Amino acid sequence: MAQSVLTIDLGAICANWRALAAMNDGETAAVVKANAYGLGAAKVAKALADEGARTFFVAQAEEGVSLRGALGSGPKIYVFGGHMDGDADLIRQADLVPMINSIDQMLRHVEALPGHPFGIQLDSGMNRLGMEPAEWSALREIALSQNPVLVMSHLACADDASHGMNEFQLQTFRQMTDGIDAPRSLAATGGVVMGAAYHFDMTRPGIGLYGGLPFVEARPVVSLSIPVIQVRDVNPGESVGYGNSWVARVQSRIATISAGYADGIIRAMGPKAHVWAGETRCKIVGRISMDLIGVDVGPVKDMPDRVELMGRHQSIDTLADAAGTIGYEILTSLGTRYARTYIST
């Protein structure tokens, strides 16, 4: 077996969902877009539905179709990207609820699927998805008369609770929506953590379910175990890996492990990242290759057959720091070559 094993703890995901749900009084949905942040939308959503989640969010109608196939009828599936040209059949057949992002999308929706449920996405300052305040003013009365099932917006800086943008967006969202009858939603994981003012009628955690910051108390969800192919002695002056970027200064012992950037182990993390051989932290040496990584195992006494890149000793956020990115990208980058094992603890 040169195949690495990625273990995904559905029990931890459910526990994280319960913990986030306990922090607010409204409904707690679950964001399972991007294949549940790379962890498998079908399995994750089914586990969360069994746990009591009734509403799921995806990014694109195509994802919604796939998710509907996994969940069957019953749970609500909302689509952040809204109603795109060509989506009508998907939305109708899979019973999806598009979040309408613009007047164009609104016209498209009522023309193609009159009476079909929809939500409204508003831009409260992120300038990414949703209607601008002026656009919303023009459309508001007509849209509300059609009974949107949800009116929502999204925070740009909720990973940093102290950022002034949060309060600005909260006030903007309130100005745009105070007094309407439709249920409202503003908070993803960061907003849940920031407290009741951000919760409204529904929260939509994503990264917190999967064990990532800014939900500090999250239970870890993924672990990755990588087989060792071989171990060699490297003399001072010899180099390891592509481009001779690492040169041994002392007599060294180097393990070659069977995973690489093709498995989503982001190449940029090479100079700063570590793996764990049993209880020993071992530095990655040389450039991360497509399928292979060199590791300095000099300090290891009893060399194991496998090493751990993430799991008990190391979180997705630690890896993200090494790669200069965020835990979200560590998860969504996880490749397709792993043996994926689902457990529930």
Using CB under 8 A, which residues numbered 133 to 172 contact a copy of itself?
156-157, 159-160, 163, 165
Single out the segment in contact with a copy of itself by CB under 8 A; choices: 12-20, 178-186, 285-293, 307-315.
285-293
Note whether 119 and 99 are within 8 A (CB): yes
Q: Does 319 bind a copy of itself (CB under 8 A)?
A: no
The encoded tokens of residue 272 equal 């700063």
Q: Does 123 bind a copy of itself (CB under 8 A)?
A: yes
Cα–Cα distance list, 47 to 32, 160, 218 (Å): 12, 30, 17
What is the closest distance, in whole angstroms, from the C-beta atom of residue 11 to a copy of itself in the complex?
Answer: 24
Note whether 109 and 126 are within 8 A (CB): no
Single out the segment in contact with a copy of itself by CB under 8 A; choices: 17-25, 27-35, 142-150, 197-205.
27-35
What is the closest distance, in whole angstroms, from the C-beta atom of residue 222 to a copy of itself in the complex?
Answer: 15
What angle do helix axes 133-145 and 103-112 make, rounded to 10 degrees?
20
Using CB under 8 A as the criterion, what x/- string covers residues 203-242 for binding a copy of itself?
Answer: ------------------------x-xx-xxx---xxxxx
Closest CA to 47 of 209, 169, 190, 222: 209
Task: State how beta strands 96-100 and 202-203 pair.
Answer: unpaired
Cis peptide, bond prior to residue 214, ω within 30 of zero: yes
End-to-end CA distance of the chain: 25
Considering only 133, 337, 340, 342, the residue that binds a copy of itself (CB under 8 A) is 337
Considering only 324, 341, 343, 344, the residue that binds a copy of itself (CB under 8 A) is 324
The encoded tokens of residue 219 equal 């239970």
Q: Does 336 bind a copy of itself (CB under 8 A)?
A: yes
What is the closest distance, in whole angstroms, from the C-beta atom of residue 140 to a copy of itself in the complex?
Answer: 17
Note whether 189 and 241 are within 8 A (CB): no
Kindly report the backbone phi and psi dihedral angles of residue 88, in degrees, each rounded to the nearest multiple of 5, phi listed first: -55, -45
Which amino acid, one-letter code, is at 103?
A: I
Single out the segment in contact with a copy of itself by CB under 8 A; choices: 6-14, 193-201, 214-222, 286-294.
286-294
Active site members: 33, 242
> Please, which contacts does 73-77 make with residues 24 or more away whose CB atoms are closer than 8 Å?
74/49, 75/45, 75/49, 76/149
Q: Does 2 bind a copy of itself (CB under 8 A)?
A: yes
CA 314 centroid distance within chain: 18
Note whether 75 and 55 are within 8 A (CB): yes
What is the closest distance, in whole angstroms, from the C-beta atom of residue 282 to a copy of itself in the complex?
Answer: 16
Q: Does 40 bind a copy of itself (CB under 8 A)?
A: no
Considering only 117, 211, 220, 264, the residue that binds a copy of itself (CB under 8 A) is 264
Considering only 34, 70, 110, 303, the residue that binds a copy of itself (CB under 8 A) is 34
> Which is nearer to a copy of itself, 34 or 51 (by Cβ)?
34
Q: Does 321 bind a copy of itself (CB under 8 A)?
A: no
Site size with a copy of itself, rule: CB under 8 A = 79
